[in-house]
Amino acid sequence: MDPGPLDKQILTDQDNHISKVIWEGQELGPLKCIPADPLNEFWELNESQEELVCMVGLHNVASIAKMKIHHGIIWSLVERWRPETNTFHFNFGEATITLEDVAYIYGLPIDGRLVMGRTILG
């Protein structure tokens, strides 16, 4: 039984999706998450990135010193991401990440007046 979609009108890229390869039993090998500094397993904002993040009022995000990359979690999410619908497909259903989720995770205020920054073109 093929676990792919019954109707390919929405998930139009199933033939190229990683789930097809996994279902066919092929070994893919490890996903490589390559940080800017391959000798460092953490991802950090550089000074200009921190300035931009602070400039738009997201100081909480800029204060995150380091983020450890969890390759297994990233690989699992990559396997389940469907770009056609911008959702993750799990065995229990679909899920997506909303701006409200991001605000909650980072402790960003979501009530009050709208905050807008300048558009930076470069």
pLDDT string in tens for the chain (122-residue length): 666 677 778 778 878 777 777 777 777 777 666 666 666 666 677 888 878 878 777 777 666 656 677 778 888 888 888 888 888 888 788 899 988 888 888 777 677 777 666 666 65
Give the pLDDT of residue 34: 65
Give the pLDDT of residue 26: 78
Give the pLDDT of residue 2: 63
Enter the pTM of the model.
Answer: 0.51
Sheet-wide strand order for 87-90: 81-82, 87-90, 93-95
| DSSP 3-state of 31 | coil
Q: What phi and psi, each to the nearest 5 degrees, are found at residue 94? A: -105, 155
CA-wise closest residue to 72 among 119, 31, 23, 110: 31
Give the pLDDT of residue 82: 86
DSSP 15: G
